[in-house]
Structure 1
Amino acid sequence: MMVNNNKLDLSATATSNKSVNIGDTIVNTGKVDSTISFDGASPYIGIGYRQPIASNKGLSLTSELGILYQGSPKVSLQVSPQNLVSQTDINKEIDNIRNDIDSIKYWPVASIGISYGF
């Protein structure tokens, strides 16, 4: 298990020159904020190698490759002003975002390190 703090905060401001699509509605004014997060504790599987440079003490080299299962993304979407679009359009946009990012429920992990034992 690993602690998973992966999170993405997004913000968009719609203007007359730069519209934003929310579900089936095109918005030319207002602000959209979204947060994408994952499970806090996530299963992890990996394989690693540790090579001691000295017998029991001293410098060691480490490396690890693995994969973290984050689960399905959790998406929230806030639109202001609130009456700018319908809840149906907000829900549709949340579903669109989930479909676009569903493939990142598996996250690759690679690490290389140096440690020192006393």
Structure 2
Amino acid sequence: MLTIVRRLRRALVAASTLLLVSGALLPASARATELFGGLGTTGVELGVAERVGGAAGLRMSAEFLKVGRNFESDGATYDTKLKFSSLGLYGDYFITGGGFRLSAGAVIGTRKATGNAVATNGTLSINGSSYPAAGESVGAEAKFPSAAPYIGIGYGHHQPSKGSGFYLDLGFVIGKAKTTLSPSAGIVAAAGQANVDAEQRKLQDSVDKLKAYPVLKFGFSFAF
């Protein structure tokens, strides 16, 4: 956790310095600053953007997502969560005189999905076999890289004049998640470590098919 905090701090300082330096070097007529906020598949987004002259722009945003779902199925209670807490650093290239753009950058922070199944009665399945498991549990976590590249397209953040506007982003954060399976001691004893390891490999193989996380964001902005 300390390493992630340090990375976020360094990225925040670097991005802030870049925005300040670019603003200082450009004439006032070429500068425009924008505050924005929105929602999307990365959660709630709050950020600042700077048009650095010509067709280029820079953005920095904080993105937070925390959603969960609890349900029961086949004698087991399931608790699933998706949690993001990250910093997005983006560069924009406007391909027309309007707001359409190409975007690239990086997402830094914690992005993970967790799940836990507790058998109230019945069985739990490990590596294709079912085992009596009343009161036993199996936990799983899929954790994305703490730093991952982003590519996409979008509209907005071009700050043509002071006032309000809107923006839209469509792209992908590239990077596969690493999984961890955590069965309770009773499940390990019943199924055997070899079957637990085989189930772990199956879980990782399934997650490996998702090579990128889809991003869709929209929101509103104010330029000044």
Q: Check whether TM > 0.5.
A: yes
Equivalent residue, structure 2, for 1:37 = 143
RMSD: 2.2
1:111 aligns with 2:217: yes
Name the SS for the 2:110 alignment partner.
Answer: coil
- Of 48, 63, 69, the residue aligned with 2:174 is 69
- How far apart, in 1, do the equivalents of 2:120 and 2:164 lie? 57
Query: Deviation digits for residues 19-77 of structure 1, max 9, x if unmatched?
Result: 1111254221121111111111111101222166x843111221111111122x21111
Q: Structure 1 residues 25 and 55, CA, compared in 2 at 3 Å: closer, same or farther?
A: closer
Q: Structure 1 residues 27 and 2, CA, compared in 2 at 3 Å: closer, same or farther?
A: same
Question: Where in structure 1 do 4 or more consecutive aligned residues deviate above 6 Å?
Answer: none
Q: Structure 1 residues 47 and 25, CA, compared in 2 at 3 Å: closer, same or farther?
A: same
Equivalent residue, structure 1, for 2:10 = none
Q: Tell me if structure 2 keeps the 8 A contact 1:60–1:116.
A: yes
- How far apart, in 2, do the equivalents of 1:45 and 1:4 lie? 17
1:3 aligns with 2:104: no
- How far apart, in 2, do the equivalents of 1:24 and 1:64 lie? 41
- Of 4, 7, 21, the residue aligned with 2:125 is 21
1:99 aligns with 2:205: yes
Q: Tell me if structure 2 keeps the 8 A contact 1:68–1:108.
A: yes
Q: Which amino acid aligns with 1:38?
A: F
Q: Tell me if structure 2 keeps the 8 A contact 1:4–1:42.
A: no
Q: How many residues get paired?
A: 115
- How far apart, in 2, do the equivalents of 1:80 and 1:93 lie? 14
Q: Structure 1 residues 2 and 77, CA, compared in 2 at 3 Å: closer, same or farther?
A: same
TM-score by structure 2 length? 0.46
Using the aligned pairs only, state the percent identity. 27
- Of 73, 84, 89, the residue aligned with 2:195 is 89
- Structure 1 unaligned regions, length at least 5: none
Question: Displacement of 1:78 after TM fit?
Answer: 1.5
Q: Which amino acid aligns with 2:204?
A: R
Which protein, 1 or 2, shows the higher relative CO under an 8 Å CA cutoff with sep ≥ 6?
A: 1
Name the SS for the 1:104 alignment partner.
Answer: coil
- Structure 2 unaligned regions, length at least 5: 1-105
- How far apart, in 1, do the equivalents of 2:198 and 2:174 lie? 25
Q: Which amino acid aligns with 1:109?
A: V
